Amino acid sequence: MQDIDLVIVWSFIIGFGVIMYVLMDGFDLGVGILFPFAPDEESRDVMMNSVAPVWDGNETWLVLGGAGLLAAFPLVYSILLPALYIGVFLLLTGLIFRGVAFEFRFKASRSRYLWNWAFAGGSALAAFAQGAVVGAYVQGFDTANRVFVGGALDWLTPFTVFTGLGLLVGYALLGSTWLILKTEGDLQAWAYRVTTPLLVAILVVFAVIGIWTPLINESIRERWFGALSALWILPVLTFLCGFLIYRAVRKRQEAIPFLATLGLFIFTYLALLGARWPYVVPPDYTVWDAASAYNSQLFLLIGVIFVVPVVLAYTAWTYWVFRGKVRPGEGYH
């Protein structure tokens, strides 16, 4: 085992956990973001029922990625949490509001509109906070002697606000394509209508970030514009996914828009990792600098080898059990 670089193994595990969370929880956050704009209250019932059986299981990946990050790369926690404390607090606050709204909305009558706003507001807040945190990661952090030395609001800049709003739009696109897949009738027709404007908006966001990022970070500029950079294939694939979404919506296909949106997120995520690898706390510390002891990583890896297949099996089984269309009057509740 000493010949295996466990830092690379753990980097893959945590990277996998993060993208699984983004994909799995992204569409149910997107449904919440679209909630206030739904055609009527019955449509909102269907929207919530489409994600109610799976939303809490989706967040398992957030717990797995966060716990693995703490155990395998403790330096990341000691620097990023002080740097992003407010952003992480907003993220968790949003998740709490929407989690409570799932249960209380179906029992409420006169106060249902309040839980509608709690669900929508919590979803939007969580999505914006995630996007802002990603933007702060791209910017980098002020560190000295393995300690964060910046201010509590250093993470909040025009760039991070833009990335926060961008991810909010991206999750809304995931939500609309999920509704295309899971609903029918007037609600599905509405989801088709909102998907194209959301697609145009997120492609514009990607283009702006692609131009803006090299301007604020020299190391990313050098990596992207170096000789024969292979990273450019990822934006090309991202925009190809966008074309597939557009064509599938025009042809009224049901599964392709959602699958292509997943691909759009995956290629964007890989482009982000490629622009920053191997820095886990940019611009100073690599994954090897931030890693815990070899024996600690090995001990934890044994547990993960058993846990991850169980989580994957549980997730697959849940989606299989609750497969098919969600109709008015039917659903988890």
Query: Which tens digit of pLDDT belongs to each residue from 122-180?
Result: 999 999 999 998 888 888 888 878 888 878 888 888 999 999 999 999 999 999 999 99
Q: How many Å apart are CA 168 and CA 32, to the nearest integer?
A: 11
Judged against a pLDDT cut of 60, whether residue 228 lies above it is answered with: no
Q: How many Å apart are CA 51 and CA 182, to the nearest integer?
A: 9
Report helix angle 255-276 to 112-139, nearest 10.
Answer: 40
pLDDT digits (tens, 9 = 90+) for 125-136: 999 999 998 888
Sequence ranges of the domains in the chain:
6-321
Q: What number is the average pLDDT over the span 229-235?
A: 76
Q: How many Å apart are CA 229 and CA 223, to the nearest integer?
A: 7
For residue 329, name the pLDDT band (cuts at 50, 70, 90): low
Share of the chain above pLDDT 90, in %: 28
Q: What is the mean pLDDT of the chain?
A: 85
pLDDT digits (tens, 9 = 90+) for 284-311: 788 888 888 888 888 888 888 888 888 8
Structure tokens at 232: 């450019």
Q: How many Å apart are CA 170 and CA 59, to the nearest integer?
A: 18
Q: How many Å apart are CA 214 and CA 231, to the nearest integer?
A: 13
Q: What number is the average pLDDT over the span 212-233?
A: 69
The conformation of residue 230, written as its DSSP 8-state character, comes to G
The conformation of residue 143, written as its DSSP 8-state character, comes to E
Q: What ranges make up the beta strands (E) of 60-156?
A: 143-144, 147-148
Q: How many Å apart are CA 48 and CA 242, to the nearest integer?
A: 26
Residue 178: predicted pLDDT? 94
- Classified by CATH at the fold level, domain 6-321 comes out as Formate dehydrogenase/DMSO reductase fold (1.20.1630)
23 vs 110: which has the higher pLDDT: 23
pLDDT digits (tens, 9 = 90+) for 188-204: 999 999 999 999 999 99
48 vs 275: which has the higher pLDDT: 48
Judged against a pLDDT cut of 90, whether residue 242 lies above it is answered with: yes
Residue 333: predicted pLDDT? 53
pLDDT digits (tens, 9 = 90+) for 54-83: 877 777 787 777 777 877 888 888 888 888
